[in-house]
Amino acid sequence: MDFTFNRYGIDGLTHNHERPGRPTKIPLEKHEELKDLIRNPYQVGEDFWTARKLHGYLSEKWQAELGYSTLCANMHKLGFRLKVPQSWSGERQDEKLREQFRIDLEHIKLDFALVAVCGVGWLRQAASETFFNIENFIH
């Protein structure tokens, strides 16, 4: 092994020259492609990326043998940040709005359950009597 110190002495440790180091698991020429993939997940049929989903995708499709934490570090180097959803404390939430949302959600679930049993025709008729526009749900 030829170390920098052995080759250049003390001056070799202070000079700013390229050090080879370990090669990246994702080649530099693929970094732009990775950035594009992260910014536009729909191009591969995803709505959004989690680090875990992206790790699985890269392992499967790109045959990239990198660890989860390595992927997170690479994403950070590319300028992406981990965002974790956090719940709000009870004092910041309007309980009346939360309860109305729960009721509305139960209506939607019930309406869609009835579609499975009664068919789309029933839903078109029921839509005029409910709070949502059925045309947003039927193509």
Domain limits of the chain? 22-77, 91-136
Higher-confidence position of 136 and 43: 43
Look at residue 82 in the predicted model and tell me its pLDDT: 76
* Contacting residues for 30 by C-beta, under 8 A, at least 6 apart: 62
Question: What global pTM score does this model have?
Answer: 0.49
The rounded mean pLDDT for the chain is 75
Q: What is the pLDDT of residues 68-90, one digit of tens each?
A: 888 888 888 888 887 777 776 66
The model's confidence at residue 139, banded by pLDDT at 50, 70 and 90, is very low
Mean pLDDT of 24-51: 87
DSSP code of residue 17: -
Q: Contact, 64 vs 25, CB < 8 A?
A: yes
Q: What is the pLDDT of residues 46-64, one digit of tens each?
A: 888 888 899 999 999 988 8
What's the CA gap between 101 and 106, in Å, rounded? 9
Scanning the structure block, which residue is given the tokens 């869609």? 112
Look at residue 57 in the predicted model and tell me its pLDDT: 92
DSSP code of residue 62: S
